[in-house]
């Protein structure tokens, strides 16, 4: 087996060889601890029959670990400067395709159709660029891609919000959006010391496995998310006040909100953070006829 890319010495050598300076604006914090990387890959449960999609391969630290476990790796990298580096560092592997593209703009479905033919088990595994963690996760989950789920490194604070349960401070519209689509759990907390350069915050790895059965019956997803977002605009306000302020104008809005809360048995004085996803679904379904 070839030597790991993800050691402090080898990472520095590679960066020196290419005169590479990290671009903070692209969230470039490279992992330099092979144990952490193997741990991330283990959480994805890959076999040679699986494919992995990576966002931001950097200099290839995670990519090579994925290539060892999975049948195929498809990696999207925005920074053109890294392409020749990756060609060099990943030359021992013949099961990696690098796509030079912004993951938020790429046609991921088309790339999967073209490059991952025959793979039925596809996982997204990535050490995400922290400036766009949420848009990336939301995009990959809402595009109905044929993926089993995601295992990603991101800021600890965002990881806590994504996996939060009702009644906690971290619970909000992001928790609901992600948990609506997936079973989300915290896999591990990671200190800044395993990155080069070190980020200013603690990190965490989370695993999100897409639900095969919906967690709640929702009449209109877009409206459901409008209701959940409105319910948390001012966390200290009651659900009634937040909906009153945050929902678009509709037929007899105030009456519609009172009726929907009564009909679903949700106390108007409760705060959004106490409602379960199922309660939000009932509430949104009850409100929907007055706002559609």
Lookup: tokens for 159: 């990881």
Residue 86 sits in the site that holds ligand SAM (CB under 6 A): no
| Residue pair 29/198 in contact by the 8 Å Cβ criterion | yes
How many other C-beta atoms are found inside a 10 Å radius of the C-beta of residue 287?
26
| Min separation Cβ 122 and ligand SAM, Å | 17
Residue 118, classified by CB atoms within 10 Å of its CB into exposed (0-12), middle (13-18) or buried (19+), is exposed
Residue 30 sits in the site that holds ligand SAM (CB under 6 A): yes
Residue 76 sits in the site that holds ligand SAM (CB under 6 A): yes
**Which residue from 20, 41, 52, 62 is in contact with ligand SAM, where contact means CB under 6 A?**
62
| Min separation Cβ 81 and ligand SAM, Å | 9
| Min separation Cβ 108 and ligand SAM, Å | 11
The span of 22-30, 107-115, 204-212, 271-279 binding ligand SAM (CB under 6 A) equals 22-30
Task: Please calculate the CA angle 12-18-23 and round it to the nearest 5 degrees.
Answer: 75
Residue 141 sits in the site that holds ligand SAM (CB under 6 A): no
| Min separation Cβ 217 and ligand SAM, Å | 34
How many residues at the interface with ligand SAM, by CB under 6 A?
A: 22
| Min separation Cβ 227 and ligand SAM, Å | 30
- Residue 102 CA to residue 122 CA, distance in Å, equals 20
Lookup: tokens for 112: 């999967």
Residue 94, classified by CB atoms within 10 Å of its CB into exposed (0-12), middle (13-18) or buried (19+), is exposed
| Min separation Cβ 198 and ligand SAM, Å | 12
**Which residue from 14, 53, 55, 140 is in contact with ligand SAM, where contact means CB under 6 A?**
55
| Residue pair 50/111 in contact by the 8 Å Cβ criterion | no
Task: Please calculate the CA angle 138-55-7 and round it to the nearest 5 degrees.
Answer: 135
Nearer to ligand SAM, 15 or 258 (CB): 15
Nearer to ligand SAM, 77 or 273 (CB): 77
Residues 223-262 that bind ligand SAM (CB under 6 A): none
Residue 285 sits in the site that holds ligand SAM (CB under 6 A): no
**Which residue from 29, 155, 179, 228 is in contact with ligand SAM, where contact means CB under 6 A?**
29
Alpha helices (H) in 128-273, listed in sequence order: 133-142, 156-163, 173-181, 221-231, 239-246, 253-264
């Amino acid at each position: 087996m070839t030597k790991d890319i993800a050691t402090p010495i080898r990472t520095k050598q590679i960066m020196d060889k290419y005169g590479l300076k990290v671009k903070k604006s692209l969230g470039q914090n490279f992992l330099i601890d092979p144990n952490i990387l193997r741990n991330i890959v283990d959480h994805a449960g890959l076999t040679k029959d699986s494919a992995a999609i990576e966002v931001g391969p950097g200099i290839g630290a995670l990519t090579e670990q994925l290539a060892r476990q999975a049948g195929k790796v498809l990696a999207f990298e925005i920074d053109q400067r890294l392409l020749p580096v990756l060609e060099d560092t990943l030359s021992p592997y013949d099961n990696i395709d690098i796509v030079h593209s912004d993951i938020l703009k790429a046609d991921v479905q088309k790339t999967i159709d073209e490059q991952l033919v025959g793979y039925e088990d596809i996982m997204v595994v990535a050490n995400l660029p922290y400036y766009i963690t949420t848009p990336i996760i939301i995009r990959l989950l809402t595009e109905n891609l044929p993926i089993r789920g995601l295992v990603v490194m991101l800021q600890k604070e965002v990881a806590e919000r994504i996996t939060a349960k009702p009644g906690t401070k971290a619970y909000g519209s992001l928790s609901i959006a992600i948990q609506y689509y997936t079973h989300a759990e915290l896999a591990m907390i990671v200190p800044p010391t395993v990155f080069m350069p070190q980020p200013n915050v603690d990190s965490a790895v989370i695993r999100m496995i897409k639900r095969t059965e919906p967690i709640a019956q929702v009449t209109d997803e877009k409206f459901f998310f409008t209701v959940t977002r409105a319910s948390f605009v001012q966390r200290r306000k009651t659900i009634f006040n937040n909906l009153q302020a945050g929902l678009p104008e509709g037929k007899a809005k105030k009456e519609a909100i009172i009726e929907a809360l009564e009909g679903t048995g949700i106390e108007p004085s409760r705060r959004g953070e106490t409602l379960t996803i199922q309660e939000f679904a009932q509430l949104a379904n009850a409100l929907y006829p007055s706002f559609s």
